[in-house]
Structure 1
Amino acid sequence: MKPTANTRPDPEEIKELLQDDAASNPKTAKPADLKPGRGLDFLYDIPLQISVEVGRSKILLRDLLKMGEGYVIELDKLAGEPLDLYVNSRLIARGEAVMVGEKFGIRLTDVVSTSDRIENLG
């Protein structure tokens, strides 16, 4: 089951993943603070920067200086390809653009697994 924006990962699952990582990587400090009874709820309030990428392109400085209103930049993605969703500059999902009232939104179609997201934090 893929987590949605309204669900939280199971704290026990996070604890197990962190402990497994610490056991398999001797250079990593052991998670001493992850004792039974100590919740991880304080982590849920950490602010994160979310960005959605439509595509990329490389240009020359001369082209940048020529830019003006109406200038078109060709991107590397085709129309209809999934958009990339980044959290703190790390890819965590792909999706499609949707309208939410008068604003743009993204409907997630492919989400990186919880264990991979936790692994990519460090």
Structure 2
Amino acid sequence: MSNIEESSELMAQPSEASASLQKRALDFLSDVPLEITVELGRTKLSIAELLKLGPSSVLELNKASGDPLEIRANGVLIARGEAVVVNDRFGVRLSSIVTPDRLLGSMNGGE
């Protein structure tokens, strides 16, 4: 087998060393804090509209009641889910998680 064939075969199959490096990189990053936010919806207001808001005001959001919530890590969409109540606290049940390819694409400027 030629060197070219060997190197292309190595490139086609991830090695155990490569997997080990990826695991060590993830372990290294595991203590990095992230701000997780759950977005119910969005709206745009003018300053005049904002100043008119009071305790009984209602803001209409861009999502319907059955639409999934968006879960973001440091502002990047990572998952979608639905609101749940657990022991008198709100939580989110994840229904879908963004694939790593899309996640990397959104961090590079797209979403």
Same fold (TM over 0.5): yes
- Aligned partner of 2:81 in structure 1 is 95
For structure 1, the residue ranges without an aligned partner over 5 or more in a row are 1-15, 17-33
- Aligned-pair identity (%): 42
Q: Deviations over 1:87-116 (max 9, x none)?
A: 110111111001121211111111111333
2:54 pairs with 1:68 = yes
For structure 2, the residue ranges without an aligned partner over 5 or more in a row are 1-10, 12-16
Map 1:1-122 onto structure 2 (within 5 A).
38=21, 39-40=24-25, 41-122=27-108
Q: Deviations over 1:23-64 (max 9, x none)?
A: xxxxxxxxxxx9786522111111100001111111111111
Determine the C-alpha separation between the residues in 1 that align with 2:96 and 2:50.
34
- TM-score (structure 2 length as normaliser): 0.70
> Whose RCO is larger (CA < 8 A, sep 6+)?
1
- Aligned partner of 1:28 in structure 2 is none
Give the length in aligned residue pairs: 90
* Two-structure CA RMSD over aligned residues (Å): 2.2
Note the C-alpha offset of 1:118: 4.1
Runs of 4+ more than 6 Å apart: none
Whose radius of gyration is greater, 1 or 2? 2
